[in-house]
A and B are shown apart, each in its own frame.
Chain A
Amino acid sequence: MSDSAPIELPEGLWSQPAVDTSAVDSITDVESVQLITTPAKFVYDYTPGVARTRFLRAIEQKRLVGQRCPETQKVYIPPAGVSPVSGLPTLEEVELGLDGTVVSYCIVNLDFTGNAQEIPYVSALILVDGSDIPIYGLVREIAPEDVHFGLRLKSVWVEPEEMTTSFENIKWWAPNGEPDVPKSELADYV
């Protein structure tokens, strides 16, 4: 290849040359259009699938369920139906606790939610009792600066008459008063 001529790149690849509109009187002395709007809207008939349906049906009954990987025995929540470590279906359903442990968190000082959350607020990764992968949740009923790794939490749910097949049934998580989980027991989850 070394003896071949260098490739000549087409002009205009790096910067667009000026366009000559002098042949069209009507557009020479007017403001040029520089952008157009092309909105697109699609409606789909969405299904979460079999495994996630089971999770959402359970959450309507104030239960948290995961599914176990047949190879590693790890329990996934919310279950996707397949284990990302073995690639195998997770056929065994596992009833989980309604409490959990903080394995990571951050204090949010910017309003990303359009005033839906008063700032500062704490979002955390919470390892639900009996599971092996943390889920996302808000931590409240505690000063943000007091939230810490290993903090034990309980889930706080909407009123029974408001329960639906939605993850939003859990309003937030709050300290349950139990002693912290030692770091050594959480090493695999951070």
Chain B
Amino acid sequence: MRDVAIIATAQSKHVRAASTLNEVELIQPVIHEAIEQSGIGRHDFDFTCSGSSDYLAGQPFSFVMTLDAVAAWPPIAESHVEMDGAWALYEAWVKIQTGQADTALVYSYGKSSPGDLPRVLSRMMDPYYEAPLWPTSIDFAALQARVAIADGVTSEAQMAEIANRSRNAAASNPFAQLTSSPEVADLLSSEYLAEPLRKHDCAPITDGGVAVILAAGDKAREHCTRPAWIRGIDHRADGHHINFRNLCVAPSIGIAAEKAGVGMGPVEVAELHACFTHQEPIIKAALGLDESTVVNPSGGPLAANPMMAAGLIRLVEVANRIHSGEVSRGVAHATGGHALQHNLVAVLEGEG
């Protein structure tokens, strides 16, 4: 295996609606900032990979439009996933492992504000039995929360504490959308959005993007004083149909965690792609984390949830803390689909 590291990162200031910008105008400054930080020439990347979804802003082939931001003419080696950018990073990591590239630019973005996001996300469901009923992403998540509470995995009080802790933690995150929270008791006295979920249990709707520079071996050391080495990375999927699954466990996270080597050392920090409060304890349990791990110090998706970017941002938040020397080993988790169906786990480490 080749040593591959995250050497530079950038994020947008995440907002409820970037109402004046089209998607390339949204992501170009973010890409440019990551490139600048890396010190690699913007025409010198061996591979470029992006993640986005046309359904969010109703822009067919929007990813082709945003390729303008990476100087894709004359043609460059480039790919795209209709998934969260964490999977674009995975593809770039594989490309570097094959020896076909030493450096890669990865970016992803989501402009959810033009549409009705919970309704748009119903299109991810089974197209015969579930999607024709138009349940929203929140409806599905609420059912999972119900199961998790019934099975004692979490409680409405614990979920409110997670919401409160996450959004208050985001006060120190300059990119976050929500940076404070009412007291837990006040949260618990608010009305249900979809029982047992209240508004505070759900990630906000966000416009934003993220960019990451990957480099292998000496190239990484040359361009970064303390690279965040990807020591393990794996992704697994549980069944698509929610009716086959025990919704309060996520076996695919457990397998990915084992393959990525999460348990091979202390986990100082974990950034988890939990878009709903009840998902945090499910993910923590599957990763085998205990109370010694600091979870979502950035505030996590509950503080800013740009679709297709929020998973890659989890890797970025861990990498940033390694770059700064704050931690030496951390875990990032990204998810796709409904109710934690598809999951990616990465272990990042600093040297020395």
- A interface list, Cβ under 8 A from B: 36, 38, 40, 42-52, 80-89
Binds A, one of B64-72, B154-162, B179-187, B191-199: B64-72
Instruction: Describe B's contact surface by its main secondary structure.
Output: helix
Please state if B132 and A38 are interface contacts (CB–CB under 8 Å): yes
* B120 / chain A contacts, CB cutoff of 8 Å: 42
Chosen A-B contacts, 8 in total, with CB atoms closer than 8 Å, are: A38-B127, A38-B128, A44-B114, A49-B23, A49-B25, A50-B22, A81-B24, A87-B68
Given contacts A42-B115, A47-B19, 5 further A-B pairs with CB under 8 A are A45-B115, A46-B57, A80-B22, A86-B71, A87-B32
- The answer, yes or no, to whether B285 is at the interface (CB within 8 Å) is no
CB <8 Å contact, A81 and B28: yes
**For B132, what are the chain A residues with a Cβ–Cβ distance below 8 Å?**
36, 38
Q: Which residues of A contact B123 (CB under 8 A)?
A: 40
Q: Knowing A36-B128, A38-B132, A84-B71 touch, does A50 contact B114 (C-beta < 8 A)?
A: no
Complex: chain A residue closest to B24, CB-CB: A82
Fill in one digit per residue for B1-39: 1 if any A CB lies within 8 Å of its CB, else 0: 000000000000000000111111100110110000000
| Alpha-carbon gap, A80 to B123, bound state (A) | 29
Q: Is there contact, CB below 8 Å, between A47 and B114? A: yes
Residues in chain B near residue A85, CB distance under 8 A = 71, 73-74
B28 touching A89, Cβ below 8 Å: yes
> Are B65 and A80 in contact, CB atoms less than 8 angstroms apart?
yes
Encoded as 1 (CB less than 8 Å from any A CB) or 0, chain B from 108 to 130 comes to 00000111100110010001100
Contact A84 B58 (CB under 8 A): no
**Complex alpha-carbon distance, A52 and B31, angstroms:** 21
Question: Could you tell me which B residues sit within 8 Å of A by CB distance?
Answer: 19-25, 28-29, 31-32, 42, 55, 57-58, 65, 67-74, 113-116, 119-120, 123, 127-128, 131-132
Is B22's CB under 8 angstroms from A87's CB? no
A-B contact count (CB 8 A): 80
A44 with B58: CB separation less than 8 A: yes
Q: Determine whether the beta carbon of A82 is less than 8 Å from that of B28.
A: yes
**Given A36-B128, A49-B20, A42 and B58 contact (CB-CB distance below 8 Å):** yes
CB pair B73–A49 under 8 Å, yes or no, is no
Main secondary structure on A side of the interface with B: mixed
- Taking CB atoms, residues of chain B closer than 8 Å to A43 are 115-116
A89 CA to B27 CA in the complex, in Å?
A: 11
Query: Are A81's CB and B128's CB within 8 A?
Result: no
User: Nearest Cβ in chain A — how far from B121, in angstroms?
Assistant: 11
Considering the chains assembled together, what is the distance between the CA atoms of A77 and B88 in angstroms? Answer: 31
CB distance from B115 to the nearest CB of A (A): 5
Cα(A190)–Cα(B167), bound, Å? 54
Which residues of B have CB within 8 Å of A81? 22, 24-25, 28
Choose from B25, B69, B127 the contact partner of A87 (Cβ within 8 Å).
B69
Among A36, A40, A42, A87, the residue within 8 A (CB) of B28 is A87
Q: Which residues of A contact B73 (CB under 8 A)?
A: 84-85
A-B pairs, top 4 by smallest CB distance, nearest first, are: A49-B22, A87-B71, A44-B58, A44-B114
Q: Note all chain B residues with C-beta closer than 8 A to A47.
A: 19-22, 114
Q: How far is the CB of A77 from chain B (nearest CB, A)?
A: 14
Complex CA distance for A40 and B72, rounded to whole angstroms: 33
Chain A residues with CB under 8 Å of B65's CB are: 80
Which of chain A's residues have a CB closer than 8 A to the CB of B31? Answer: 87
The residues of B that contact A83 with a CB separation of less than 8 Å are 68, 71
Interface contact B128-A52, CB-CB below 8 Å:
no
